[in-house]
Amino acid sequence: MLHYYIFSLIIGLKVLLHPFYISLTDIRYNAQGQNLEIAQKIFWDDLEVALSESSNSKVDFLNPSNPEKLNKMAREYLLASNAITVNGQKIELRYLGYEIEEDAAWFYMETGKIPFPKQVSIKNTVLLNQFDGQQNIVNFYLDKKPKSLILYKENETGNLVF
Task: Kindly list the domain boundaries of the chain, sorted by start residue.
Answer: 31-161
Instruction: Yes or no: say if 41 and 27 are a contact pair by the CB < 8 Å rule.
Output: no
Strand order from edge to edge, sheet including 89-91: 89-91, 82-86, 119-124, 157-161
For the entire predicted model, the pTM comes to: 0.86
- Tens-digit pLDDT profile for the chain (162 aa)? 565 556 565 555 555 555 779 999 999 999 999 999 999 999 999 999 999 998 888 999 889 999 999 999 999 999 999 999 999 999 999 999 999 998 999 999 999 999 999 999 999 999 999 999 999 999 999 988 899 999 999 999 999 999
Q: Name the β-bridge partners of 85.
A: 90, 121
b/e for 1-16, b at 16 or more Cβ within 10 A? eeeeeebeeebeebee
